[in-house]
Amino acid sequence: MNQWALILAAAILGSGAAIARASEPEAASPAESNVRGAPSPNIGADRTIHFSLKAPEANSVQVAGGDGLGAGPFPMTKGADGVWSVTTPPAVPGFHYYWFVLDGVSVNDPASQTYFGYGKETSGIEVPEAGADFYAIRDVPHGEVRAKWYFSRMTGAWRRALVYTPPDYEKNPKRRYPVLILQHGAGEDETGWTRQGRANFILDNLMAAGEAVPMIVVMDCGYANKAGTAPLAIGPGVSRETIRIAFRTFEDVIVHELIPMIDAAYRTMPDRDHRAMAGLSMGGMQNLFVTLHHLDRFSYIGSFSGPVIPGINTGREPQGNTPEEFDSKTAYEGAFADPRAFNKRVKLLWLGVGTAESPMFRSSISSAATALQRAGVDVVYFESPGTAHEWQSWRRDLNEFAPRLFH
């Protein structure tokens, strides 16, 4: 190789190791979540998934991941070429986080894009759902997703919100739009709804079909720590009071900083009739916490797989060791105490859950929905068939929720 070829090779390849290229079964396609050109993992027509990793010196490799992958972890076997591989049972359609366990350490698949989940960058696999193209990029007008930095005095730090502007935003420089604030789950960040959730494509498709009104969607980071205080350790066994403090700071950022910033920077309709908020899992919990405390600011409310914790706003622990009863008179500081007034004021209250979610989520959400309905509160209870505590549930929530907004 002459010097110029060396320069080209250096310029083009850098010094990084190439991605392992493993032999694959036929009639399988590389996942669209793979990095450019990576043939593995690949997905069969039956939704079995073939994973592989070149690791000649390893003693054991497994693949593990989100509920939708199957029971797992799945032991991989080593071929003569040092490539470990396994074909996992048919997966649930949708997006699943996954990782390899390499000699006991959870590591990413170098062949996969990464997605922020579990508090770190994690591999993910997109398993197609037959016939479902509501979250595909299609030949329709596309909105933009804008990264917007703003300084939060509350937290003493710069924050980044992602802002979806609808396809016609630039073409109508006088038009004003309603706003949906859309929040990610625990361990994720403001990138979740567009990267894992494909919220922008879902909205593009709905708007192109005339099924949703043009709107601005704001996705902020769900973590907020009051300036000058140590980060709150939120984990197993955390107290209600700690949760309350963390959520209250988040609420203050949303209500007193994010919303005014968005209303100043974009052509919004800055009133409660044109403002919705939704979130998934922890984001759903936060959403009920914030919106029910601020019905002066919001008139559409969506909680997607968010545990319903009636006393969360008080920070008080429940008595005894049994599930807290949902009492519509006292829940959320009495927000539902007068059902007639609530129904008049709130145009949509949505509680969603996947039918394959754990009983913890299903029972908390469905029993709250039942109690609210019995009390005469208008609530839409949505079940996503066959999906777990994963993004396919939340994509479906959004696809059904967004058309009900701002009429």
CA angle 200–392–364, rounded 5-degree value: 115
Is residue 156 near a second copy by the rule CB under 8 A?
Answer: no
Stretch that binds a second copy, among 12-20, 22-30, 341-349, 372-380 (CB under 8 A): 12-20
CA nearest to 380, candidates 343, 332, 344, 345:
343
Phi-psi group of 72: left, alpha or beta (phi > 0 → left; psi -120 to 50 → alpha; rest → beta): left
Residue 21's alpha-carbon distances to 55, 243, 339, 366, in angstroms, are 12, 45, 60, 46
Q: Which is nearer to a second copy, 59 or 130 (CB)?
A: 59
C-alpha angle 398-403-407 in degrees, rounded to nearest 5: 135
Residues near 242 by Cβ (< 8 Å), separated by ≥ 6? Answer: 232, 233, 234
Q: How many chain residues bind a second copy (CB under 8 A)? A: 99
Binding of residue 205 to a second copy (CB under 8 A): no
In the range 374-403, which residues lie near a second copy by CB under 8 A?
389
Give residues 315-334 in contact with a second copy (rule: CB under 8 A).
318, 320-324
User: Considering only 24-32, 39-47, 341-349, 360-368, which stretch makes contact with a second copy by CB under 8 A?
Assistant: 360-368
Task: Please report the sign of the dihedral spanned by the C-alpha atoms of residue 257, residue 260, residue 266, residue 272.
Answer: positive
> What would the x/- binding string for a second copy be over residues 13 to 42, using CB under 8 A?
xxxxxxx---------------xxxx----
Q: Binding to a second copy by residue 352, rule CB under 8 A?
A: no
Closest CB 334 distance from a second copy, rounded Å:
19
From the CB of 11, what's the least distance to a second copy, in Å? 5
Residue closest to 335 by CA, chosen among 284, 291, 278, 279: 291
Q: Which of 54, 244, 274, 395 binds a second copy (CB under 8 A)?
A: 54
- Does 149 engage in binding with a second copy (CB under 8 A)? yes
d(CA 49, CA 37): 17
Let me know: does 113 contact 148? Beta carbons within 8 Å. no
Q: Give me the least distance between CB of 162 and a second copy, in Å please.
A: 9
Q: Say how far apart CA 321 and CA 319 lie, in whole Å.
A: 7
**Among 74, 135, 266, 406, which residue interacts with a second copy (rule: CB under 8 A)?**
266
Looking only at residues 74 through 93 of this chain, which bind a second copy when binding is defined by CB under 8 A?
Answer: none
Smallest distance, a second copy to C-beta of residue 55, A: 5
Q: Does 97 bind a second copy (CB under 8 A)?
A: yes
Query: Site mask, a second copy, residues 224-263, x = CB under 8 A?
Result: -------x--xxxxx----x--------------------
CA 6, 7, 8, 12 dihedral sign is: positive
d(CA 50, CA 42): 5
- Choices 86-94, 110-118, 328-336, 371-379; region in contact with a second copy by CB under 8 A: 110-118
Phi/psi-derived region of residue 94, left when phi > 0, alpha when psi is between -120 and 50, beta in every other case: left
Q: For residues 267-306, which are near a second copy according to CB under 8 A?
A: 281-282, 285, 306
Kindly state the smallest distance separating residue 312's Cβ from a second copy, in Å.
Answer: 9
